[in-house]
Chains A and B, each alone.
Chain A
Amino acid sequence: MNAVLWYDWLLCRRSRSFWASAALTPLLFAVMALQGAIIPNPLGGVTGTQLFLFCLLIPCCGWMSAALVSMNAIGALNLGSGESANRFVEEAYHESGRPMAGMVLAHVLLSCLLALPMLAIVIGLHCWWGTITDPSLLCSPLAWSGYLCTALSVFVTVAAMILSSGHNTNELVLAMMVTLVPIIAVMTVVIIALTLCPLAIPPLAIVVIAVTMAVAIRHCRRRYTDTFRSLG
């Protein structure tokens, strides 16, 4: 896992496009959240901007960081359209004899570490702009749903990009689009829950994350076969 973390970070920190995307993303997402102001009536005491921020744009920070890390890891940021991605990390990791889940977790860990400052910038900007005035909002069920959905989004995106059989940029773009589905699903559930039972949001998010992780681990085990065994 350390080797993959070292490798991912080395690639990311040397990529200009990575730094440009990482810097611009929180700024743009923070501005986009302001669009929530067009929703006239607050939902369960939550304004439209706060709803956009925690349900959509904070999880999108996770989605973006995971996409950046994954695409760097498979060399996809340097590819032309339709060109094949380099899967040698996968091959080398498999040859090292370690469980393949470790490789996925390393990508997830770096993506989470990258998502954290992005998330802090977005929230910081909104505190500065005055759209978040009550600090207790940052620990509310709505906020927790946003944080957990960020983790979920990182996990789903990394798993889809790394474990999908997508070997070229076209398929990877498709995988990236599909990974937006959990964010949309969570946003819908949160909006419904806000009106019915806000306290149910965090446990619900934990259940969703646990189920997603179980599915991904099962997929990971199924994707790679263990051919190393005694002939008997």
Chain B
Amino acid sequence: MPESTPIAISVRNVTFGYTRHDTVLDHVGFDVPHGQSLAVLGYNGVGKTTLFRIITGLLRPRSGEAIVNADVIHGMRDVFMLSADGALAMQLSLRENISFRAKLFATRQDPSPIDLDQLDRLPLIEAFGLADRLDTKVGELSSGLRRRADIAVGLLFHPHLVMLDEPTNAVDPATRDLLIELSHQLSDSGRTLLTITHDLDYCWRIADRAILFDHGRIAIDRRIADFPDFDTFKAAMTIDEPHPAVLFGFNEERSHRS
């Protein structure tokens, strides 16, 4: 990425805790150049999702600030965040969910941001195999299909900043491959992509840069191209927590029986 590339997101010295006494993110700071694909890694509860919510303004940091650069991203309408809980109402059909988002994103200049009569012909709907499921309630879709629907519906409105929280959760290998291809096409079209994932192989294949969080701080921030191969990348991005011999109590049970 050239040095002159404008910054899309700037996270400046952000500290956040859900209560006064805990600190989830501790003086976190980094910039994301426009068009970069950044992977955010770290174990469960380290603050990755919290960071996404701070960037989109759904959470207020205790100190510091996150900025979505208005010189690069044209409005909050250009931002899509897929949360881990999903982005669709379970009780509504996929078509109704799209309709809700279309009403929400409508403006005076553009009252119909999407052609609701031609939904089944839209490339994203076709690519994710959702054309036949448009009138199915989201709650009746399998978790994998729901994940596909979450992503497709958000991307239908062509956001320029795409933030995906564990997109490969609950998806089959074919959908995972589809998501890898989608990420490549998003990057090729110049969009900024932030992905939270635990899937290191996925990260290796889609990201330009990876940030690893540990204890609320950035432990590693490196470009993927700096790693000679996947094994080196995997070794670097895996935090070695000391694992003492863990006993789950089953052996004890067997000795009692005998």
Contacts and interface: CB of A to CB of B under 8 A. Distances in A.
Contacts of B71: 230-231
Given A88-B85, A228-B73, A229-B67, A93 B104 contact: yes
Contact of B89 (A75, A84, A222): A75
Interface string A73-98: 00100100000101111111111111
Interface in B121-173: none
B50 to A, nearest CB: 13
A229 B10 CA distance: 11
A95 B10 contact: no
A176 to B, nearest CB: 21
B46 interface: no
B54 to A, nearest CB: 8
B92 interface: yes
A11 B77 CA distance: 24
Contacts, number: 107
A89 B100 CA distance: 10
Contacts of A88: 83, 85-89
Nearest to B76: A97
Interface string B47-82: 000000011111111000111111101011101110
A195 interface: no
Nearest to A90: B58
A106 to B, nearest CB: 11
Interface string B101-114: 10111100000000
A19 interface: no
A223 interface: yes
B219 interface: no
A90 B67 CA distance: 19
B72 to A, nearest CB: 8
Interface residues on B, range: 35 or more
Contacts of A231: 7, 10, 67, 69-71
A144 interface: no
Contacts of B101: 92
A66 B105 CA distance: 26
A224 interface: yes
Contacts of B96: 10
B91 interface: yes
Interface in B10-55: 10, 54-55
B89 A7 contact: yes
A7 B70 contact: no
A129 interface: no
B88 A95 contact: no
B236 interface: no
A87 B58 CA distance: 10
B34 to A, nearest CB: 11
B90 interface: yes
A84 B84 CA distance: 12
A225 B92 CA distance: 29
Contacts of A230: 69-71
A168 to B, nearest CB: 12
The 4 A-B pairs of least Cβ separation, nearest first, read: A3-B103, A97-B76, A3-B104, A227-B57
19 contacts: A11-B89, A78-B90, A86-B86, A91-B58, A94-B58, A95-B77, A95-B81, A97-B76, A97-B77, A224-B60, A225-B59, A225-B66, A227-B55, A227-B56, A227-B65, A228-B67, A228-B75, A230-B70, A231-B70
Given A222-B60, A225-B57, A225-B60, 4 more contacts: A91-B81, A94-B57, A97-B77, A224-B57
Interface of A: 2-4, 6-7, 10-11, 14-15, 75, 78, 84, 86-98, 222-231
